Structure 1
Amino acid sequence: MAADLSRPDERSAVLESSPIVDILVTNAGGPPAIPYPDINIALWHRALELNFLSAVDLIQGVLPGMIERRFGRIVNVTSVAVKKPVEHLELSTASRMALTGYVASVSRQVAKFNVTINNLLPGTIFTNRLRELGPVAEKMIEEVPAGRAGTPEEFGAACAFLCGSSVSFLVGQNLVIDGGLNRSTL
C-alpha cells in the first residue's frame, strides 16, 4: 500500500490494512536543510508531523497487538544528528530528538511484554538523502574515520539485527551507524 505517512488519515489506512504487525520500521525522509533564521512555523509543523508524529501514531497503532501477542520489534530510523547536530538540519534534529525522548520512555514500559523499541541513527549512509545534502555530506564523509560512506546493505543488516527475536534485551537504545563519525564514548 502506498501512503503519505505524514498524513494522519493515510497512517490510519495503513494501520487498518495491516491488523497484525510483529515488526515496524519507521523511516521518514528528512526535512530540507535550511538556515535556522529561514525556518518558519509551517516548516516546524511539517517536520514534526513527518519525523515525530507519524512514528508515534504508527507505534501506538501497533503496540496493543504486540503486547497481546507478547512479541514485537520497533525500529525508528532517526539520525546521528540527534547525537551530533549538523548545521542547517535543525528541523530534522529537533523532530528526531522528540522521537528519541518518546522512545526512551515508552520502550521501557513495553519491554516486559517482549516488545522492543530502539532507534537506528544513520550518519553517512550513501543514499539519495546524503546526495541531496551536497557539500554538507561531502564534509561529513571527509570526517568519517572509516574513510567512506556506509552502504545501504550495511544499514539494512543493522536494522535486521534490531528486529531479531534474540534481541529482546536491547531496549530503548540508539544504535549509531556512521563509520565512527560520532566520537562520543556513550
Structure 2
Amino acid sequence: MELGLKGKKAIVCASSRGLGRGCAEALAEAGCSIVLNGRDEAVLAATRSTIEDQFGVEVRVVVADVSTRAGQEALLSACPEPDILINNNGGPPRKDYSELDREALLEGVLQNFVTPVELIQAVTPGMKQRGFGRIVNITSLSVRMPIEGLDLSSGARAGLTAFLAGVCRQLAPHGITVNNLLPGKMDTDRLKGGFARAAEQSGRSIDAVRAEQAAEIPAQRFGTAEEFGQTCAFLCSRQAGYITGQNILLDGGLFPSAF
C-alpha cells in the first residue's frame, strides 16, 4: 500500500534497536527521511547503514538521551520541521512499588511522561502551520493490564495517555493525529532479558521459559519489531488521517477484552 509518506521527515526516538528501529525501518520503507536516536554510537551507526542501504533514504543520527534538554535540542536541530514524531524511551527497571524512592519515581515520570509531552510541545507548532502531523507514542500493554513490578512504568505511561486524550482533540482540526501503540510481549532484547531472569530464578532453561510464556498468548508466539513498525507506519499514513486518540494493542490477543 502506498502510504503517502514519500518526502516526509520523521524523528524516531530510541530507534537504534527493538521496536523503535522497527518503526524507523517501516517509515524509511514508506519513503520518509529519518532521524535515528539512541545512546550507543556504534549500534546507531550500524542501524543507519542498514536503513540507508536497504531503503535509499536520508538518515541522520543523534546520539543522546532524549530525556535531557540537550538531547531534545539535538533531535530538533537535526530535524527542525518534522512531519512525524515517534515517542519512545526506555522504561524504569522492574521493581516492587515498595522499593521505589522519590528519585526513582521522578525519573520514571520524566522518562515516560514528561519527555514525550515536551517533544510534542516542540513539534506541534510547525505541524499546525503545515497542516499535517503524525504523533505516535509507544507505551505498553501494562497501561491496560497491570504487570507486577512495572507499576511506575505503567503509571507514567497511563498518565501520558490521559494527558493526550484531550490534547489530541485540540490538534485534530490542524491535520495532526496522536495515537498510542501498546506492545505486549514482543521479541526484543528486553523480553529476552526477562527470560534470562526468570530462568535463573526458577532453575529452568531459557527455552522452557520462552515456550511457557509464548503458550500464554492466544497467537502462540511473540510479536516482531517488523510488524510493530508496519502498524506504526500505517498510523502515520495519509489513509489514517481520521484515526486519533486511539490506543492500539499489539499483543496477540493476550489482553482479554471485548472493547
Same-fold call, TM > 0.5?
yes
Mapping of 1:22-61 within 5 angstroms? Answer: 22-61=83-122
- TM-score under structure 2 length normalisation: 0.69
* Aligned twin of 2:231: 158
Query: Could you tell me how far apart the structure 1 residues matched to 2:250 and 2:106 are?
Result: 28
Structure 2 residue matching 1:75: 3-state secondary structure: strand
Match of 2:220 among 147, 150, 155: 147
Query: Could you tell me how far apart the structure 2 residues matched to 1:57 and 1:64 are?
Result: 12
How far 1:178 moved relative to its partner?
A: 0.6
Structure 1 residue matching 2:181: 3-state secondary structure: strand
Aligned residues: 186
Runs (5+) with no aligned partner, structure 2? 1-61, 200-208
Match of 1:180 among 253, 256, 259: 253
* Aligned twin of 1:105: 166
CA contact (8 A) 1:22 1:66 kept: yes
Q: Which runs of 4+ in 1 moved over 4 A?
A: 136-140
Matched residue type, 2:140: S
RMSD of aligned C-alpha atoms?
Answer: 1.6
Query: Could you tell me how far apart the structure 2 residues matched to 1:43 and 1:132 are?
Result: 21
How far 1:140 moved relative to its partner?
A: 4.9
The answer to whether structure 1 residue 7 and structure 2 residue 80 are counterparts is no
Work out which of the two has the higher radius of gyration on C-alpha atoms and give 1 or 2.
2
- Write out per-residue CA displacement over residues 1-34 of structure 1, whole angstroms, 9 at most, x where no aligned residue: 1110111232123223321100110111121000
Matched residue type, 1:28: N
Matched residue type, 2:79: S
How far 1:90 moved relative to its partner?
A: 0.6
Structure 2 residue matching 1:166: 3-state secondary structure: helix
Structure 2 residue matching 1:121: 3-state secondary structure: strand
Match of 2:194 among 133, 137, 146: 133
Identity %: 44
Runs (5+) with no aligned partner, structure 1? none
How far 1:142 moved relative to its partner?
A: 3.3
How far 1:182 moved relative to its partner?
A: 1.0
